[in-house]
A and B are shown apart, each in its own frame.
Chain A
Amino acid sequence: MLQRKICLLGAFGVGKTSLVRRYVDTIFSDAYLTTVGVKIDKKVVSLGAEQVALILWDIAGEDEVAAVRMSYLRGAAGYLLVADGTRPETLEAATSIQSRIVTELGRVPFLALLNKADLAQDWAISAARLQALEDAGWTFRRTSAKTGDGVEATFEELAALLAR
């Protein structure tokens, strides 16, 4: 069976672990539990006639004192760059991570997730900023780990991208 390593990256508190829990176990908890280090999950998906095992690396969020270790991405076929739609600073953290990945690992397929789409009333990211990043080649998907909206579709979209 094909195996593909996919890393989830982003600032702390954007919902990376919740996205994995929603995708792998179809559960969600409102309680925020920070991730230290790395947690690995595996999910097998069918892509046409082929089955692919996705090895999901849920990597601790980046903060002001601890940057994501690029060596953890070694061997990753792709990654999901997660931002919290209600915290504009997390989109800037995502752009910083993405530029370091390009510098150190080259161009690796990725999708950018604007998570917490259920909190539409608190949405704080400007359309102009999104447009600028889209112009730079980013592909955005809106997700909500809480409601499940867009979660499975986004993981499988990336899986399909990597299976080509």
Chain B
Amino acid sequence: MLDLPARISNSLFALVQTQRAVAHLLVDDTQTLVQAGGHLDHYGLSGLRCGEPACDQVPLLEGLLPLAETPFLIRSMEMPSGRVADVHFIADESAVWILLLDVTAEHDEARRVQQKAYDMTLLSQREARLIEQLEAANQELTRAHRELAESREALLRTHHRLQQELRDAERYVRAILPAPLTQPFALDWRFVPSTELGGDSFGYHWIDPEHFALYLIDVCGHGVGAALLSVAVADTLRSEALPRTDFRKPGEVLAALNQAYQMARHDELFCTVWYGVYHRDAGLLRYACAGHPPAILVSGPRDCAGQGRSLAAAGPCVGISAAASYREEQCSLGSPARLFVFSDGTFEISRPDGSQMAFSDFTDMITRPVEEGECELDRLLNYARQVHGGETLEDDFTILRMAL
């Protein structure tokens, strides 16, 4: 205890009483309120009734009495009035004094400091969680990226293998094409597939010493499936592998070919075919057509402008209808003349503005005089590329020229 004179002690007590708004309660050992005084209103504790149970009137006392320790302090308790008090419990013989001292100012200051500290802590916890989530997401992304890179490598390996196989297939398709002829007449061709493997194929061969067969096949679509069917059809014609068929008769050949290659048995693929047979001694060309563009016969010397004659014949595409028949046509074929057989990719050329080249532009190019040293097939190919505006054409470009 401080050894202070009474007047100082009294001043100190008066100071505490004034500044701390002291209020007091006295509760006996039956937990009855026996005394209440001081600034009770300040804490919202007015109207207390002495002689009645203390806990019913002052809820904060519930469970705390009798005291387990003395003195006992509850710091910063918010009271019903909103003021904050330190609540002191002091045992006095069989009763308990409860003293309330206002600490609202200290409480508010402590709350301001604590609020800032907690806000900062919550923020840093949230930041840590976000960083953790980002790191987890980053790890997941890294793993996905690695898997993607591995998949890409596997795909590239597969792609390269398939490309190699396609190049092998393309080499094979080109290898089985017949070589250009110079005797007894000139026969040359240009074959430029739009993709590595196209749907066009062609062939020519002597059926016997007098009859020369010439044919061009265009399977709908491009790629491996179309190329396989195209090569198969060309091989059937080349090896004359159609039963009970006279290969000197174009109508009969196409009818038999149509029976052999019905689309229902060939993955819904069908094709157009132009098939002609030149009888050398008679100077006669017999031909039939299965949905294919007509061949064009240009008579006269090559250095003069010629007249193009369309060699069309009625007949549907091979593979669509088993009941189809093919009309056979014929025309004289005497020197000097050039016969052009081609696929639709030679004239169905789109310009960069989306418009289409006219068929008459193509026939005009064919019938133009050919200058000395000029190759008219290259002229046609270059013209198509020029019209299209690029080296790679949209469709297979295949054309045969037989010059007598």
Residues of chain A touching chain B, judged by Cβ–Cβ distance below 8 Å, are 1, 3-5, 12-13, 32-34, 36-40, 42, 53, 55, 60, 63, 71-72, 74-77, 87, 89, 124
For the complex, what is the distance from the CA of A40 to the CA of B74, rounded to whole Å?
12
* A55 and B77 contacting across the interface, CB-CB below 8 Å: no
Return B89 CB to nearest CB of chain A, in Å.
10
B352 in contact (CB, < 8 A): no
**Given A36-B114, A37-B77; A89-B68 close (CB under 8 Å):** no
CB neighbours of A76 from chain B (8 A): 63
Q: Which of B60, B69, B107, B129 is A36 in contact with, Cβ under 8 Å?
A: B107
B64 in contact (CB, < 8 A): yes
* B62 and A5 contacting across the interface, CB-CB below 8 Å: yes
* A13 and B59 contacting across the interface, CB-CB below 8 Å: no
Q: Which of A36, A40, A77 is B59 in contact with, Cβ under 8 Å?
A: A40
For the complex, what is the distance from the CA of A4 to the CA of B55, rounded to whole Å?
11
* A77 and B115 contacting across the interface, CB-CB below 8 Å: no
CB neighbours of B107 from chain A (8 A): 36-37
| Overall SS of chain A's interface | loop
Q: Which of A4, A63, A75 is B118 in contact with, Cβ under 8 Å?
A: A63
B76 in contact (CB, < 8 A): yes
* B62 and A55 contacting across the interface, CB-CB below 8 Å: yes
* B121 and A63 contacting across the interface, CB-CB below 8 Å: yes
For the complex, what is the distance from the CA of A32 to the CA of B119, rounded to whole Å?
9
| Interface size class of chain B, counting residues whose CB lies under 8 Å from the partner chain | 20 to 34
**Given A37-B77, A37-B107, A40-B78; A77-B63 close (CB under 8 Å):** yes
For the complex, what is the distance from the CA of A76 to the CA of B118, rounded to whole Å?
27
B84 in contact (CB, < 8 A): yes
For the complex, what is the distance from the CA of A69 to the CA of B312, rounded to whole Å?
107
**Given A3-B55, A55-B62, A76-B63; A87-B78 close (CB under 8 Å):** no
Task: For B72, give the chain A residue with the smallest CB separation.
Answer: A71
**Given A39-B78, A74-B64, A124-B129; A55-B59 close (CB under 8 Å):** yes
17 new A-B contacts, CB < 8 A, other than A38-B74, A71-B69, A76-B63, are: A13-B121, A13-B122, A32-B122, A34-B111, A34-B114, A34-B115, A36-B110, A36-B111, A37-B107, A38-B78, A40-B77, A42-B59, A55-B62, A74-B64, A75-B62, A75-B64, A89-B125
CB neighbours of B114 from chain A (8 A): 34, 36
Most chain B beta carbons < 10 A, residue from A12, A34, A87: A34
B56 in contact (CB, < 8 A): yes
* A72 and B111 contacting across the interface, CB-CB below 8 Å: no
B75 in contact (CB, < 8 A): yes
For the complex, what is the distance from the CA of A106 to the CA of B302, rounded to whole Å?
117
**Given A13-B122, A36-B114; A75-B78 close (CB under 8 Å):** no
CB neighbours of B78 from chain A (8 A): 37-40
Task: For A61, give the chain B residue with the smallest CB separation.
Answer: B118
User: Which B residues, 70 to 94, have Cβ-Cβ distances below 8 Å to chain A?
Assistant: 72, 74-78, 84
User: Which B residues, 302 to 340, have Cβ-Cβ distances below 8 Å to chain A?
Assistant: none
CB neighbours of A55 from chain B (8 A): 59-60, 62-63
For the complex, what is the distance from the CA of A76 to the CA of B72, rounded to whole Å?
16
**Given A55-B59, A74-B63, A89-B125; A37-B75 close (CB under 8 Å):** yes
Q: Which of B59, B69, B117, B122 is A3 in contact with, Cβ under 8 Å?
A: B59
Q: Which of B63, B76, B115 is A75 in contact with, Cβ under 8 Å?
A: B63
Return A15 CB to nearest CB of chain B, in Å.
12
* B76 and A36 contacting across the interface, CB-CB below 8 Å: yes
**Given A37-B75, A71-B72, A72-B74; A12-B63 close (CB under 8 Å):** no
CB neighbours of B63 from chain A (8 A): 5, 55, 74-77
Task: For B63, give the chain A residue with the smallest CB separation.
Answer: A75
Return B302 CB to nearest CB of chain A, in Å.
80
Q: Which of B56, B84, B119 is A37 in contact with, Cβ under 8 Å?
A: B84
For the complex, what is the distance from the CA of A60 to the CA of B76, rounded to whole Å?
10
For the complex, what is the distance from the CA of A76 to the CA of B60, rounded to whole Å?
11
Return B348 CB to nearest CB of chain A, in Å.
57
For the complex, what is the distance from the CA of A61 to the CA of B182, rounded to whole Å?
103
Return B131 CB to nearest CB of chain A, in Å.
14
Return B122 CB to nearest CB of chain A, in Å.
6
Return A71 CB to nearest CB of chain B, in Å.
7
For the complex, what is the distance from the CA of A75 to the CA of B69, rounded to whole Å?
13
Give 21 A-B contacts (CB < 8 Å), ordered by A residue: A3-B55, A4-B62, A5-B62, A12-B118, A13-B118, A32-B118, A32-B119, A32-B122, A34-B114, A34-B115, A36-B107, A38-B74, A39-B77, A40-B77, A55-B63, A60-B76, A63-B117, A63-B118, A63-B121, A75-B63, A87-B125
CB neighbours of A12 from chain B (8 A): 118, 121
Return B52 CB to nearest CB of chain A, in Å.
13
Q: Which of A3, A13, A36, A39 is B56 in contact with, Cβ under 8 Å?
A: A3
The 8 closest A-B pairs by CB, nearest first: A75-B63, A37-B76, A39-B78, A5-B63, A55-B62, A36-B111, A55-B59, A34-B115
